[in-house]
Structure 1
Amino acid sequence: MKTLSQDLIELQQKVRNFIQQVVIPYEQDPRQDSHGPSTELRAELIEKAREHGLLTPHASVEMGGQAWTHVQKAVAFEEAGYSPLGPIAMNIHAPDEGNIHLLDIVASDAQKQRWLKPMVEGKIRSCFAMTEPAPGAGSDPSMLLTTATLDGDDYVINGRKWLITGADGASVAIIMAKMEDGSASMFLTDTDAKGFILEKNMNAMDSCFAGGHGILRFENLRIPKENVLGEIGKGFKYAQVRLAPARLTHCMRWLGQARRAHDIATQYACERQSFGQRLGDHQGVGFMLADNEMDLLSTRLAVHYCAQVLDMNDKGNYESSLVKVISSENIWKIIDRSLQILGGQAITDENLVCKIFKDARGFRIYDGANEVHRMSISKKLLNGKI
């Protein structure tokens, strides 16, 4: 963006060079499947980011990060998202990015040393276990069914979760559970604890998240009191601490993916001949490229606006809802148009846009379905709470 400061331009170029020169060559690496990049590939990419001074930059300086502002993240995370492997390499992918932010704010010193520090160093992964099969919690977290019962010095957790991103291969989990008084709390646990069971990995449309999406079951999982995250009964409050910034970083990363799809389609429209002229010279195609440019710009402006709100220490819940809907719908239109321009090749794995298309569709659902965000926005608007 022409409005960026010199420092942000330099940061943008640093990340852009890393993605172009180091990460993109890995995109054809066979160490990837329908559940994302392998542990080995992730570790190799993590080391590359460490060498370039770009590993987990959003974490606090105390934990080994660079404490990037939200505006810095808006610039750099878009560049990272230009490759599906970029966020994995820089350790800024979901769910670890949001979990690191949450633990940085809420975790005790002992918890930070035990779990957060190795997460920031890229040595371990995490998962966030809140979503449940019906009739449990989904877009409405108040429907939480997983329970936590105090028994001596432990809390005993029972329940079932699904669509848990990164569960397979995670070393630590943050579990949201309902207390006996109906409130909710968050708990930290090692995933090799007795009673923590990964039932299966789900076959999902996307393949960009390390560890895929799993189904978890907790059978009398015992968690010591010292592993409560924050205070008992404040789980929903802490969820908002995590969700507003994490919601926005999704927008940042996916904006990079949409730009990549658009760039691929633009290049093809410049080179491909059809009916005696370049494909892009046909108005039907040229107009789609123009619409992509407008949607990229409006999405980027919205993301940067919300980043500024968060940097002003505002909770940004309302603004992040607005921007999540704007971004996910614009991004989907950009990718869909790009696929249309590319034609038959883009419905196969021969073209990266096919993967981007499948990966991106879920964004209108996760982090709160767009319909739920619209409901929240309208209620606040009608009740004068904005």
Structure 2
Amino acid sequence: MEYHDSEKAKEVAGRVEAFMDEVVIPREREALETGEPITMDEIHDFWEMAKERDLFAPQVPEEYGGQGLGFRDMLPSFEQVGRSLVGALSIRANAPQEGNMHTLEFAGTEDQKEEWLRPLVQGEISSAFAMTEPKVGAGSDPKMLQSTAVKDGDEWVINAHKWWTSDGLNADFYLVMVRTDLEAHPYEGTSIILVPRDADGVEVVRNVPHLGGHGITEREGGHAEVKFENVRVPVENTIGEENEGFRIAQLRLGGGRLTHCMRYSGMAERSLDIAKAYLAEREAFGTTLEEKQALRHRIADAETRLHAARCMVRHAARELDDSDARIEVAMAKMYTANVVTDIIDLSLQACGGNGIGKDLPIAYFYESVRPFRIVDGADEVHRRSIARWAFEDIDESEIETTLDFDEDLRIDALRE
């Protein structure tokens, strides 16, 4: 399909596709066959090869070691990395690192960028975004945020209980969403504060067991439960303006939802490719499976819906250039999440026993894709926003800002 991406976007995506096909996916296949995980040394080798091919960190400005692609131009590359279980990680475009890099780049001070962004881009350190809270805390309704930070002189004193903090096990620092003005509405009194892992009072409680996770890499960052008890950090660790945390998070999330959509679109595309190859070879009841009309029609529907999802994402990305495009992003995210889930389910079914077996990546994709209808905003949250727009005929700027059930949960098809 021709999506009228820019020549730069298509050229880079073509090189990313070649890198996946020539280097990353063959190593992934080997890891799946042998059960021997890909080591961090090998990941570092991928990074060096990506740098040699001018593919490393495509979403980051060149001054910090990336390729400096604009948002719309990097989307096709994100789709290509989504075809591999370790694709995003192999070029340093994996979540939550990618989103945290973006947050520091547009909201951080120059000192914060030098101390944290530059080494983060290069893979010298790791990060996590701590927003979601257990039980009565923030989830689909972010107004329920319980975490607080109180000023004591030139320091913040932070008390917070977070979970589903992706890469929280390995993070060297956390971007923590906390209420900093308890008298104000949470949307107007919340800040994002950078907390080093080694600060007194930071406790990584556990890795939260979850659906997905394939163990294909030597070190997986998990989705941690983390407590911050009377943690003191300088006020200068505030990311952006004080009490502007929700605005910053929304800027992060709008683009992040679309990059997720593209990664999962790539995963769905590869699943379909595997299924079609299998159907062309497998014979049953007198013909190959690809000649069975029921399967042909289901594949046709899958291709059509995937095309529609790709168009929606690109349209929302264009709208982001001029506005926050909340409704366009909500529609694209909710629709794409359901489409890719259905396509991977179909691909697994089409491959039968081979689909549920883990010689192929589809079973891993199947485990990884289901949470996408919850993370980055549950289906119900996005439908609520879309319905308010549809029925009340109000301006998009009046629609209540909604964050994620779990913004940070980056299932390991992305982080691996």
Q: Do Structure 1 and Structure 2 share a fold, with TM-score over 0.5?
A: yes
How do 1:29-178 and structure 2 match up within 5 A? 30=31, 39-178=40-179
**Amino-acid identity (%):** 37
Whether 1:333 aligns to 2:342 is: yes
Equivalent position of 1:314 in the other structure = 323
Structure showing greater relative contact order (alpha-carbon pairs closer than 8 Å, 6 or more residues apart): 2
C-alpha displacement of 1:173: 0.9
Write the distance in 1 (CA, Å) between the matches of 2:30 and 2:194: 34
Equivalent position of 1:181 in the other structure = 183
Structure 2 portions without partners, runs of 5+? 397-416
Equivalent position of 1:277 in the other structure = 287
Which of 104-113 and 18-27 deviates more?
A: 18-27
Write the distance in 2 (CA, Å) between the matches of 1:252 and 1:268: 24
Write the distance in 1 (CA, Å) between the matches of 2:40 and 2:75: 27
Write the distance in 1 (CA, Å) between the matches of 2:279 and 2:90: 31
Write the distance in 1 (CA, Å) between the matches of 2:53 and 2:9: 17
Equivalent position of 2:411 in the other structure = none
One-letter identity of the residue aligned with 1:379? R
C-alpha displacement of 1:108: 0.3
Give secondary structure in 1 for the equivalent of 2:191. strand
Write the distance in 1 (CA, Å) between the matches of 2:38 and 2:268: 20
Write the distance in 1 (CA, Å) between the matches of 2:38 and 2:369: 17
Equivalent position of 1:206 in the other structure = 212
C-alpha displacement of 1:320: 0.8
C-alpha displacement of 1:29: 5.7
Give secondary structure in 1 for the equivalent of 2:67. coil
Equivalent position of 2:235 in the other structure = 225
Equivalent position of 1:353 in the other structure = 362
| Deviations 1:124-158, CA, capped at 9 Å, x for gaps | 22110000001000011111111111112211111
Which of 232-241 and 4-13 deviates more?
A: 4-13
Give secondary structure in 2 for the equivalent of 1:27. helix
One-letter identity of the residue aligned with 2:342? K
What TM-score results when the alignment is normalised by the length of structure 1? 0.94
Structure 1 portions without partners, runs of 5+? none
Quick check: 1:339–1:353 contact (8 Å CA) kept in 2?
Answer: yes
C-alpha displacement of 1:41: 4.3
What TM-score results when the alignment is normalised by the length of structure 2? 0.88
C-alpha displacement of 1:252: 0.7
C-alpha displacement of 1:37: 6.4
Which of 79-88 and 205-214 deviates more?
A: 205-214
One-letter identity of the residue aligned with 2:358? D
Write the distance in 1 (CA, Å) between the matches of 2:140 and 2:211: 19
Give the number of aligned pairs.
383
Write the distance in 2 (CA, Å) between the matches of 1:363 and 1:267: 26
Write the distance in 1 (CA, Å) between the matches of 2:213 and 2:49: 21
Q: 1:7 to 1:62 in 2, by over 3 A?
A: closer
How do 1:9-24 and structure 2 match up within 5 A? 9-24=10-25
